[in-house]
Each structure stands twice: as structure tokens, then as C-alpha cells.
A = this chain, B = another copy of it.
Amino acid sequence: MAVFTYVLIMDETKLYSWFLGPKAENADLLERLILEALRDCVFWRRNFHPEDDILITEKVKREDAFQDSLALIRQEFLTLLANLKRDIPFYSPRYIGHMLGDQLLPAIAAYFAAMLHNPNNVTLEAAPITTQYELEVARQLARLMGYDGESWGHITSGGTIANFEALWVARNLKFFPIAVRDAARSLALEELPITLPTGETVNLVIADDNWLLLNLDTDETLKLRPCLHDLYAKRRTDLTQGEIEKQVNQQLAAHSISGKGIQRFFSDLGDEAVAAPLVLLPSTAHYSMQKIIEALGLGKQQIEMIPVDSHFRIDVDALSETLLRCAGERRPVMALVSVLGSTEEGAVDQIHRLVEVQVEMRKHGLTFYHHCDAAWGGYVRTLFFDKEGTPVKTPNAIREITQTWPADEVFESYSAIHRADSVTIDPHKLGYIPYPCGAIVFRHEGVKEMITTDAPYIFDGEEKRDRPFIGRYILEGSKPGAAAAACWFAHRVVPLNQSGYGLLIGKSIQSTQELCYRLGRELAPELAREGINLRILTQPPDGNIFCFVVNRVGNTSLKEMNRINQAIYDELKFNPESVIQRHNFIISSTALSFTQYGLRGPQGRGCLDEHLAALGIPSEQFSEVGSVKVLRCTVMSPWLALSSGGNPDFSAAFAAVLKHVIRSAAAVLAQ
């Protein structure tokens, strides 16, 4: 029926049906869906072999032991519910702390419905429905990023595992051409032509310069396996297709880093040894990148942090400089990680400019894998599709929803995301899906082969494209099919465009802008008259996160400024020892460390220089004290913008509370 098409449902009030609501206003809807799911499962069970005896008889239920157990379960369940009341009210517009918010009501219902069936998405044999949902969700997310049909992706337990897989692929890809060369030699092939990023063509079989082989494009590298296969098949017409396949695979396994391991791979290179490849991270990258790089055996020392600018975005000049240095020193670069929505600041790296630099570096014979960590920002791309699902061409088409957002460069950046080799997107962040639901999408399906492990038993018979055994291609094994169902269902009722998620995220961005307006344009001038300096570090915010710092005018001590901000935070943080009803607004905080945020680009500027100067703190204090305490708001809630003029108007109310807290903190600490 036409009434259910997304086009007709354009009015914003539909957003009000997507959440349980801060006062659980939609309790009846959720209860209806939950009961429907539960009873549906009950009667589904009763319809399977109805001729079988009832095992849990009414007679058994009257036994003392049964009744005692029931009483125990009920009693302890009340205790559990009581304990859970000490949880944090993420659903409230008053919670603007970490990357945590309410979940979509339909997602909760779908998670529950699928959980009752206990599907395990390791394989279609353990989850016939939800495995298909997972792959459909991955295709949707790939399209959302602008990838075409050649892409591949899946759901993970979270962003860390998604990022892990991307860098795992990047590592194995980097060294794959060397493995192919050595395999080709073992197979006695004489020629295997490859194209270098400079456009030059060389014969891989006789290429002794490993530097060249460490600098092929991703596309070129992915052609090598089929190419090796075809050439060997041509040479050995005496062998069957299966034997060709087997021998090629054996040789690749014998020479690849997957087979040899890092230690032997490099010791076998002997005189042709290469320097350990670098991984380039913005200094804003999530700390899990360090875990990942360490676990992959690459070593934390191979991380080179690229400084960010005063908007906390990668300093593109610094990146160029580093890459040119690497090209000059013949230091391989394994990967560049860009961030769309940094954890602390919500900063959006300028993907379009990074990609230009990447193209430029090809002339210098330097290539690298580009992974984009859009765990936070991925779903923001839903604003880039209009209500009919057509990509928008200009930022103005988005500003109709969000008014001032996005800045031109933020628009350009999000528009270039398809140029990355892979993207991490967390449905359990701005997809408003219950944990655990992360996702990774790769531009090329071929990367699967880079990390495949054959499993002997789960999938019966030949794998077909429509009956995939996901576990072969990913790090994890067992996975909740319920997460896939939740995400799939959410995408079905909240479309991945401006009529759905775009509307929701648009409202959260609008809420952020309102808060920044209240703090920057109203509260700051008022405090300034009282000798208090309030500075928003991310103005305008690149999305729905912002950071701010408070100082007393005249205070030049960073330690003292940190104390002031700590005191403010202490009043606005979540305190698990207190009852939740005592909390008013809840924010988060962070400490920007000198190690990461003290880095300087080629112009000699550090990202905090301008901010510290405006706050009256001499920049040398940063290195002495070691970190700057910063207050941080993450605004997942759409309600702040929608409460405008209400009681309370949450933005205004937050500004009022903050004013009071800042005054007290500044007054006490001034003594």
C-alpha cells in the first residue's frame, strides 16, 4: 500500500515513533511488539511436532522443587531489576556524555524477537534468516558509503574488530606481491606483467626490487592471484583446473606472510630486506588502533602519528611531508587511517584532500591502503541521500534540514568516502542499534581472500554465493543473529536517507548546534563579563560532538585551568555512587595529552596553540603539564532541538546549569 512508502511519510513527527521516549511515552507500542514476538515464538514452538508429549507438565509444575525454583527466579529477577536502576539514563536529553544514547524502539523489538530463536550468524546453517539479513545490511552500508556492487562487508561485534580486519587485510595485501613473485618463480612462470602506480609496466617474476612490490595499488594487487592462476593454467595444460588451483594455493601459502609469518617472511628476504612499514594515524585516532597494530605483530613503534589542525582534522601538509619522507627513505607505508568523527572531538578528517595526496604520491612510487574509521560518522552519510534515496549534490540540500551544517569541507569529505579501501561503521553508535553491532565494508570483495581460513566442518558441500559461510572470511566465529535482525529491521522502518536516519541525525546535529550557540554566543559573553573565559574548541562542530574549556581570565597556569575544568566535570559527571535522580545534566570529559596533541605540523603549529592562546595559557605549559583537561558533550539525542521553547528547553536549561556550575567552580578555586 502506498501509505507505507517512505515518500509519503515526510513529516518530522514520525521521528517521535522511533524511540521508547524519555518518559517511555511509546511504552504501549514497545509492549505490543514484544508481546507479539514472544507469543509468536510460543506458538511457533507449539506448531512443531504437536504430536509430541508436553514435557513440562502441569503436574510437574506443581512439584515443590519446580515452585521453589520459580520463586527463586522471580525473586532474584526483582533484585536484578533493582540493580539495573543504578544504570545511566542514556535515553534522557539530559545525558550528553559519551557515545551512548537511546536505541531505536523497532531495533529493540527486532533484537528480542530474533534472540528468542537464538540464531548464530557464523553460518547459514545456524542462522538461515539472520545471515541473509547481515549480508543485506552490509550491502546497504556499502551503498551508503558510495561503494558499488563489487564491495564486501559484514557485521562485527564492534568497531575495534572492524578496524582490526581492515588493518589485517592491509598488512596481508602489502606483502602479497612479494609472495606472488616467489610463487610465480616456484611455478616456473616466466612472465607476469604488473603495472606500477607510476604507470610503468614491469615483469613481476624478475622484479628484485621489493620496494616496487610494496608499492602496488590495492586494485593491482588484487589482480595478482587470478592472473597467476590463469598464466599457470596456460602453461600447464596437462593439469586439471582443480590441480592448478591446488598448486597455486600451495605456492601462495608457502610464500605469503599468512603462511610464513612475519619473522620468517622477512628473514627470508635476506639482502633484499625492507624497512618495517609504517601505519599513519591522526593523533585523534581511537586508542584501539594501537591495540590492533600491536596484536597484528606490527609494533607500536611503526605507528606514526600525524598532527591535526586546530579543528582536530589531519594536517594535510604534515601528511604530505611524512609521505614524501617515506618515499625518499624507501620506508613502506602500510596504511593511512582517517577518522570520520573522532572519539573525543567528533572531528571529520578531510577525506577528499587525503585522497588527493594519495594520488599525488603515486607519482613518487608510493602507495598505501586507506582505511576510514567512520565508526561514529558512517551513518551521517544518510543525510547525503534525499527522501527518494538520490545522492544530494550540494551541502545546501542538507542544510535544509540542519540549517548551518555541514561546512563545505565536511560535505566534501563525506562525499569522498567511497575512495577509501574500507570503512568501519558502528550501527550500535549512530545507527541507534543495541550492542553488539559494528560493521566493516571493503571496496573490493577480493580482499576476502587475503584473510581466508578454510573451515572443515560447518558448511556442508560447496559454498555458493547465496549460501555463504561467513566465518571463513572474518575474525570472529559465533555471532548473534539478533544483532543483524535489529539492524536490518531498523533500516527497513527508518530509511538510510533524509526521511529516516538523516532526519534523526540531522536533529542531533541541530541539537549540538543549539547547545553550541547557547554556550558560545549567550553564556560565554555573560561569563566573560564576570572574568570567566569559556571556549568551544570545535567551532563549528563537524557533527554532534563538541569540546569546551573554561578558564579564569588572568589565570596563566594550565594546572590551575585543568583543576577548574575537573571541578566542573565533577559536578556534571555520572556518579555511580549517587542515585540517578540526583543527576541533572550529564557530560563527559577527556584529557588531551601532549604526546598526541602536542605534535606540530610543517608550519610549526600545534592543534591547541590557538586555543591555549585564547584561553591565556602559554603554549609551553602544555609540554610541562602533559595534558589539557577538556569538557565534552556527545549529543545523540534528537530531543534537545525538538524541545525548543518547551519546559525545559533543554539547551537553555543546560546553559543555565552550566553557568551555575562554572561560577561555583571558578569561585571556589579562585580562593
Contacts and interface: CB of A to CB of B under 8 A. Distances in A.
A272 to B, nearest CB: 13
A482 interface: yes
A76 interface: yes
B40 A478 contact: no
B298 A4 contact: no
Given A84-B485, A87-B127, 9 more contacts: A4-B68, A4-B75, A16-B55, A22-B52, A34-B38, A88-B126, A118-B435, A262-B263, A460-B573
B68 A648 contact: no
Contact of A576 (B17, B72, B86, B128): B128
A396 interface: no
B261 A481 contact: no
Interface in A78-101: 78, 80-81, 83-94, 98, 100-101
Interface string A12-43: 11101111111111110111111111111111
A130 B92 CA distance: 20
Contacts of A53: 643, 646-648
Given A13-B63, A65-B10, A100-B120, A83 B129 contact: yes
B22 A55 contact: yes
28 contacts: A8-B68, A16-B56, A21-B55, A31-B38, A33-B74, A48-B89, A80-B114, A84-B117, A84-B485, A87-B129, A87-B130, A100-B118, A112-B115, A118-B434, A118-B435, A124-B576, A158-B477, A259-B299, A262-B263, A263-B276, A267-B267, A288-B477, A291-B451, A294-B453, A296-B297, A456-B590, A456-B596, A457-B590
A639 B3 CA distance: 48
A331 to B, nearest CB: 12
Interface in A457-496: 457-458, 460, 471, 475-482, 485, 489, 492-493
Nearest to A432: B118
Given A49-B94, A65-B10, A129-B87, A276 B296 contact: no
A73 B106 contact: yes
Interface in A390-432: 426, 428
A577 to B, nearest CB: 9
Contacts of A16: 55-56, 60-61, 66
Contacts of A290: 453
A476 B475 CA distance: 12
A287 B459 CA distance: 13
B267 A273 contact: yes
A49, A109, A113, A646 pick with most chain B CB within 10 angstroms: A49
B35 A158 contact: no
Contacts of A69: 9, 14, 17-18, 493
A203 interface: no
Q: Considering the complex of A and B, which 7 residue pairs feature the smallest CB-CB distances, nearest first?
A: A261-B299, A297-B297, A11-B65, A25-B56, A14-B69, A435-B480, A157-B157
A436 interface: yes
B68 A9 contact: yes
Given A48-B580, A456-B591, A436 B113 contact: no
A574 interface: yes
Nearest to A638: B55
Contacts of A112: 112, 115
